[in-house]
Every structure is written in structure tokens, then in C-alpha cells.
Structure 1
Amino acid sequence: MARRSRKDEILQAALACFTEHGVDATTIEMIRDHSGASIGSLYHHFGNKERIIAALYLEGTEQYAQLLADGFASAKDARDCVRLLVTSYIDWVVANPDWARFILHSRGRVEASERADDLREANRRHYQRILEALAEYRAKGVFRELPIDCFASLVIGPTHDFARNWLAGRTQSDLGACRELFAESAWQSVRSV
């Protein structure tokens, strides 16, 4: 297994500090102490805490986007693609619950930061990949007619809502155990009859 880069070590230390102390209460010094990085290294890679927050957010969302891209490359049909949108999300959240909580609570902060344009561009690329993966099936009429923004909400909305509640400890069912239920429900909600 490859050794983590110093940048990745700092990001993981920041996540641990944010999880334990909260984003607002975490200081650069706490992140430095937890990561073992010098203050110079921290500032070299990120500059300040807000940039660490944005980098951690963008790295997490990129991991999910990469899971999707890898899955789309081997998807056999429209059903596989739609189910993949859900299963990749669930798999990433279950494997990274602290990171997922951080992302759910930090979007507004990143949108208001100097990295807001980076976030918008990452989201644009992510949604473009999804649209491209589904375009052939949409053209063939595999999906029922609905506005594209409704399509995305129908597919991932219920899963996202349940994941938020699961991450907050407000569900009796385990998110991973509901993986197939949400994936198949997403497919049933958008397929043409």
C-alpha cells in the first residue's frame, strides 16, 4: 500500500480534529499537532483553515465521483447506471461516515469560500459525467419523461435523506443493509414502463 502524501495526512488529521472538536473549534495548531506536520508544511499546502476545509470537502466528493466513473465504465445497461448512482453513494458514506458528516455540514461554508468556483466546477464535471453516462439510454426512451433536475432528485434524494438520518443516528436500519432497497427503488422511480 502506498504511503499517504503529507497533504493527505494533513487532510485526514483535519478530519479527525473536525470530528472530535467541531469545525469552528478546531485550530490550525490542533491540526498541526494531530498530523505531525510543521506549521510551514501546513501553510505551504493549504494556507489557512478555510482552505483545508475546502480541500477536504472537494477530495471527499471527488472520491464519490471517481467511484461512479469507475462503475460507469463497466455498467451493462441503464439499470446498472441508475443503481450505481445509489450504491456508490452508500458505499462511500458507509466507508467514510465522519467524512460524509463533514461534507453534509460544510457545503455552505465551501460555497462561501474562495474555493467556491472550484466547487461549482467540480459539480459541473460530476453532473456532466452522469448526463453523458445516461444520454444514450435517455435518447432510447429507457427513462420516463421528466425534467433532468427531477430525475436526479428521484434517484439520489431518498438515499441522501436516509444517509443524513443514519449519520445522525436517527435510523433503526443500517444504511448498508438498505443498499439494494434504495438502488432498486431509484431504478423503479425513473424507468419507463
Structure 2
Amino acid sequence: MARSSRKQEILQAALACFTESGVDGTTIEMIRDRSGASIGSLYHHFGNRERIIAALYLEGIGEYAALLEAGLIDTLDAEACVKLFVTSYIDWVVANPDWARFVLHNRGRVEAGELGDQLREVNRSHGERIGAVLRRHREAGAFKAIPGECFVSVVIGPAQDMARNWLAGRSKRPLADHRDLLAQIAWDSVRA
């Protein structure tokens, strides 16, 4: 988490607690103790524990989206664009393994919670921005005829599965070692 503010300090403390004790095993008091924030500060910034969970989740997906979108420029060719999806994701996971693990395991909880609509709006907005870049390449014939709702799964699915295995300790090699291979597999899967 790049910015340093009281809110960010609380989120960092929450992530550390969730990593050590699990989401269900972490109490608001544990987050308060870890962050050094008063209970009033916690409630001022978030309102309750579920909102801390949602804020941490939204911040995480926002960081990955920002990393991806920073590289998605209009002049990027189709291959570089597809590979960027994979390399950005892997780079973010490698740089933020605890946060990535948290994001991978808590989407359903956030979707079902009081900030589920906000998550859906963030995803919709992000999808529109990347969709605009992909649309140009699709219309130019750079991609196979893959239904739109399948495209991102085909591109990022293998990298997400490999990331899950790495985060769970089931992969013997560092995730970054597979970065270029997974990017090439993504491109080979969708190119016309």
C-alpha cells in the first residue's frame, strides 16, 4: 500500500492480522492493537470489521487495476496488450503475496457484503476501460472468435491458477519464473 495515512496504516495492520489469524479469527480489537488506532478511529474510517475487509479487498484490486491500466496505452499492439494482463497480475502477486492471498479468498465475502455494489461498480468501470482497448484489437481481427465473457478467463486463468498454487506453497519454483511462459500461453490461446 503506497500511501501513508491513518486509514492505510489500519488496512496494513488488518492485512497482517488476517494473514496471521485468518479473516474469521481476526477481531476488531486485534486490528486496533496492531494498528495502534483508537476504536473511534477504526469506526470513523470504516464503521465495522466487514467494511475493513471490503476496503482492503477494493484497495488490492484497485492496485492491480492501476498497474495494468498504466501499461494499457492505445499504441500497444494486441500481443503486448494480452501479455500485459498476465505480467501485471504476476508482478502484483509477487510484490504483494499476503494481499493477493487475501484477495483470492475473499471476493465472495465482499460481493455478498454491504459494499458488494461498490465492488461490482469498480469491476464494471475497470472492465469498460480495458474493454475499450481490447475492442480495437478484436475489431482488427487480432483475436480468435472467443465470447467476450470467456476472453479474460482464457487470458488470465492459467496465471491465476499458478498464482494460487504458488501462494499455497504448492509450486516449487518462484511464480516470477513462470511469468514470460504464462504470458506467451495467454497470447497463443487468443491470437487469431
Q: In the TM superposition, what are the counterparts of 1:100-179 in structure 2 within 5 Å?
A: 100-179=100-179
Contact 1:111 1:119 in 2 (8 A): yes
Q: Show structure 2 runs of 5+ residues with no match.
A: none
Counterparts of 2:59 and 2:99, CA distance in 1: 10
Q: Deviations over 1:34-72 (max 9, x none)?
A: 111111111000011000000000000000000111010
Q: Which letter maps to 1:7?
A: K
Which has the higher mean CA deviation after the structures are superposed, 142-151 or 48-57?
142-151
Contact 2:74 2:133 in 1 (8 A): no
Q: Deviations over 1:131-188 (max 9, x none)?
A: 1111111111011111112211110011111111110001122211100000011011
The runs of at least 4 consecutive aligned structure 1 residues that moved more than 2 Å come to 73-76
Calculate the aligned-residue CA RMSD, in Å: 1.2
Q: Which letter maps to 1:98?
A: D
Q: Which letter maps to 1:59?
A: E
How many aligned residue pairs are there? 191
Counterparts of 2:153 and 2:32, CA distance in 1: 39
Q: Which letter maps to 2:39?
A: I
> How much has 1:12 moved relative to structure 2?
0.4
Q: Which letter maps to 1:40?
A: G
Q: Are 2:17 and 1:17 aligned?
A: yes
Fraction of identical pairs, as percent = 67
Q: Deviations over 1:70-90 (max 9, x none)?
A: 010276311111000000000
Please give the TM-score of this superposition, normalised by the length of structure 2: 0.96
Tell me the secondary structure at the aligned position of residue 56 of structure 1.
Answer: helix
Contact 2:78 2:142 in 1 (8 A): yes
Contact 1:75 1:81 in 2 (8 A): no
What is the aligned partner in structure 1 of residue 89 from structure 2? Answer: 89
Q: In the TM superposition, what are the counterparts of 1:64-79 in structure 2 within 5 Å?
A: 64-73=64-73, 76-79=76-79
What is the aligned partner in structure 2 of residue 4 from structure 1? Answer: 4
Q: Which letter maps to 2:111?
A: E
